[in-house]
Amino acid sequence: MRPIEFEGSSEVQKPEDMTDEQCLSIWAFNGVDDQGLPFYLTAWKPSFEDLQAMNRGEPIWVKTITNGLPPMSIFTVNAAGEMNDAKLEG
């Protein structure tokens, strides 16, 4: 998957001490949600191979380079642009 530019986003440059193999610049929207929590929103476009894997039910892996795990969510949107609500299966 590759990060993509979208309306309202701006480019966040990769750290100067990292190579392009280690990190890429990314497009992100920096905002505050309706609960007053600050956030960054990024959009990712799956490749043909990604879509094949997802259709097989394979997981989407998220790698965060950090010393702690920040709160995050991963979601898709419906035709109206609203977040699809994931239901936990158990």
At residue 17, the pLDDT reads: 92
Residue 86 has pLDDT above 80, yes or no: no
Place of tokens 């956030």: 39
Question: Cβ of 37: how many Cβ atoms within 10 Å?
Answer: 9
In Å, how far are 3, 21, 69, 70, 79 from 65, measured between CA atoms? 16, 14, 9, 10, 32
pLDDT digits (tens, 9 = 90+) for 38-50: 999 999 999 999 9
At residue 24, the pLDDT reads: 85
At residue 55, the pLDDT reads: 96
**Among residues of the chain, what percentage have pLDDT more than 90?**
51
Q: Could you tell me where the DSSP H helices lie in the chain? A: 48-55
Q: Where are the beta strands (DSSP E) in 42-86?
A: 43-45
Tell whether pTM > 0.85. no
47, 1 in Cβ contact below 8 A?
yes
Lowest mean pLDDT among 13-27, 34-48, 62-76: 62-76
